[in-house]
Amino acid sequence: MDLDLITTLVPLAIGTAIVPVPLVLTALLLGARDGRGRSAAFALVAGMMTVRLAQGAVFGVLLAGITAAGGSRGPIAYGGLVVLALVFLVSGARKALGAPDEDAPPPRWLASLDGLGPARAFGLGAVLLAIGVKHWVFTLGAIGAIGEAAMGPAASAGAFLAFVVAAHCLQLALLALALLAPDRADAVLARFSAVLDRHGRMLLAGVSLVFGAWFLVKGLAGLGVL
């Protein structure tokens, strides 16, 4: 995996991993007292990862087909980086200016978590990925960057799988904590939620603005504008 690809995938994975809704839902499910919260949290993350993997398979094949038909991957990949930059910059500016958080989970979602079983949690995770514009943009950006690297099918699949795992690393860390250290999980989840509530907006604003500027420069340079 070359350096250019790494410097694209790592910010994308970080940006995806810190989107608040999946973290909030995972933490709430793990903190549920009805006995099914842990299995529901695992199912939620599994649903999200399944859809992301399906997106990679479908759009990776489409991108390969465009290339095989004589199309150029470069404008697609670098144009995607410019779109990513705009998403990051707009999101960062909104959060820095105190605009309502478009990533905040609807109250009816939070209310429906009580007694949520694994099957419904899997479906919730799948829907969350399917309708989340930011998730689509991040995933398509990763697919475009991997396609531009032209590493071959096996290496490309491995790179995308690494991106998926990294994109869900915080959720997976919460699940691992609940599984391996259940006695400490409640206290850690409470502290995590408090930090997210207190500093999450400014952290997301800073990360979004920095990554937005990085992708804008990279995308415009790739398109020959800079």
Taking the C-alpha atoms of residue 3 and residue 218, their distance in angstroms, rounded to an integer, is 13
What pLDDT is attached to residue 103? Answer: 58
Do residues 121 and 48 make contact, with C-beta atoms less than 8 angstroms apart?
no
Taking the C-alpha atoms of residue 63 and residue 57, their distance in angstroms, rounded to an integer, is 10
Say which DSSP state 223 is in: T
Overall number of domains in the chain:
1
What pLDDT is attached to residue 173? Answer: 93
What pLDDT is attached to residue 167? Answer: 94
- Whole domain around residue 48: which residue ranges? 3-222
What pLDDT is attached to residue 46? Answer: 96
Taking the C-alpha atoms of residue 62 and residue 160, their distance in angstroms, rounded to an integer, is 15
What pLDDT is attached to residue 25? Answer: 87
* DSSP-assigned states of every residue in 109-177: HHHTTTT--HHHHHHHHHHHHHH-HHHHHHHHHHHHHHHHHT--HHHHHHHHHHHHHHHTHHHHHHHHH
| Entry pTM | 0.82
What pLDDT is attached to residue 43? Answer: 95
Number of neighbouring beta carbons within 10 Å of residue 122: 19
Contacts of 12 (CB under 8 A, 6+ apart): 84, 138, 141, 142, 145, 163, 167
With a cut of 50, which residues of the chain have pLDDT below it? 69-71
What pLDDT is attached to residue 152? Answer: 79
Span 47-102, pLDDT tens digits: 999 999 999 888 877 666 555 544 455 666 677 778 878 888 888 788 777 776 66
Q: Which residue has the tokens 């810190």?
A: 18
